[in-house]
Structure 1
Amino acid sequence: MSLVILLGVLLPVIYLMVKVVSNTYINKQIVLYTMVIAVIGMLISAITMALAGKTTHVPYYFIASLLVGVIWALILCGCYYYYQKLNDTFGNKNKDM
């Protein structure tokens, strides 16, 4: 079960790492795609956990997965934004010398 949750959490991380490697600046489209990927990953994890665990609280799993997916995407995009700002500020100092 932990592997399913881990895969659901890592999907948006992998997407943002591809953007970091390509030096793409963050914009609304990247934030939106990250949210969609995170919500889909969390929904797949919640569906798998609900089916395997045979719980009676399936609607709560779905609502919680939506909220967690959005929050996780916003945290990741915020970290990516600050990474870009710090890289722009401190990363290009060696080119001037």
Structure 2
Amino acid sequence: MAETIRIESPRPGAHWHRVDRCLVRWQVSGPLAYPCRVLLERPTSRGWAPVAVLASTVDPRARQIAVAVPQVPCGTYRVRIASPELPAAACSGPLSLTE
């Protein structure tokens, strides 16, 4: 079975506030055990670009982690979970980051 991650939270359209703690939740299929990184990305003219590492060396079997929202400019972002074992990273839908 191929390893996949599907992000359940944040949902598309979610609102996060800077310096709050927010929950990132996901489902895992397959025997994924290699640590993952949880990234915050912002849209650019070339696609999405990472702006912050929300968590590193996360055990994917934990299926959730509380992250501190960094002090980045307000705007549209998404969460990405990546691992060398994954054929493709998992991405949330767009969320709004506000004061």
Query: What TM-score results when the alignment is normalised by the length of structure 1?
Result: 0.31
Query: What TM-score results when the alignment is normalised by the length of structure 2?
Result: 0.31
Larger strand percent: 2
Larger helix percent: 1
